[in-house]
Amino acid sequence: MNNQIKKINLNHSFIFFLFCNIFSIITFKITYFTISPLICLFLILTIGISHGSLDNLKGRKLFQIFGINNFFIFYLSYILISLIIIFLWLIAPSISLVIFLIVASHHFGKEDTQFLIIENSYLNQLLFFLKGCLIVFAPMYFNFDETISIFKLLLIDNESFYEFLNIVETNKILLYCIILSTLASIILFVKNFELKRFTIFLDYFSILIINYYFSPLVAFTIYFCFLHSVRHSISLMTELDKNNLTNGLKIFIKKAFPLTILTAIFCLLGLYLLNNTYNFDSSILKIIFIGLASLTFPHILLEYLIEKNEK
């Protein structure tokens, strides 16, 4: 089963790499080609959000381990954590952003790579984090001003924060960070080498390509929806049916649909309320990034608790 997952993900990474190259060339040749933030929101609320829409099944598994029968507590806890994250973002946006980027870097690096790595050492966790940092550093390196504009739209008005980022940018620290992330990918690739680990470099070059050609929002949407979310969804499909991936896909869609729709409804409601105060595109950016932060923390916490208690 593990070899099957590696092969599927290698094929997926190769297709994603081709898609990034072809799509980048096409859009580069078309003058004034833009992708609306509304399209990014639609993709994230469908393909992106769906990869976490089986958290209720994982929560049920966790509650069985803990011997808790009242499953209503899971939904209450999940929603409460999400609301706390939104509240903390409103009162301390700079700190919340930094913590979110750190946690997200480790999450992306780990979930995009751990199917290749059996050993769960502290070194591997560090390498996962450094590898995942590319998602944060690449848009800042290639599109620094646009990335700063997004940060400002996320309620961050701390001048010291931006002064620090300007120092980082002018002293080429971002380039050194990307080099460090590159070294982490190389180490993960050569450790216990096998050909299927070439997935790591296909993903690496894909991320650089989309961040070079597209705005930070579009690049993140492409990565989050078509690499990270699809990869996580594939692992869920194989869990649902180990022998038939097509049937696993059908089961996944059926089980993920209710929570995906419910989450999308809440996000659209939030968009409607925000649009009364901010312009439409600014409201979309707040929903995407602050909303994802509020969902990412309980999602990661759930994954951690299951991993820890299953061992």
Q: Are 55 and 299 in contact (CB under 8 A)?
A: yes
Reported confidence tier of residue 285, pLDDT bands at 50, 70, 90: very high
Place of tokens 């550093």: 137
The whole-number pLDDT of residue 1 equals 59
- Pick from 211, 179, 184, 192: which is nearest to 117 by CA? 192
| Dist. CA 164–CA 247, nearest whole Å | 51
Q: How would you label 79-88 residue by residue, b for 16+ Cβ within 10 Å and e otherwise?
A: eebbeebeeb
Model confidence over 39-75: pLDDT tens digits? 999 999 999 999 888 999 899 988 988 888 888 999 9
The whole-number pLDDT of residue 117 equals 85
Q: Residue 12: pLDDT above 80?
A: yes
| Dist. CA 72–CA 176, nearest whole Å | 47
Reported confidence tier of residue 33, pLDDT bands at 50, 70, 90: confident
Average pLDDT of every residue of the chain: 92
Model confidence over 184-205: pLDDT tens digits? 999 999 987 788 889 999 999 9
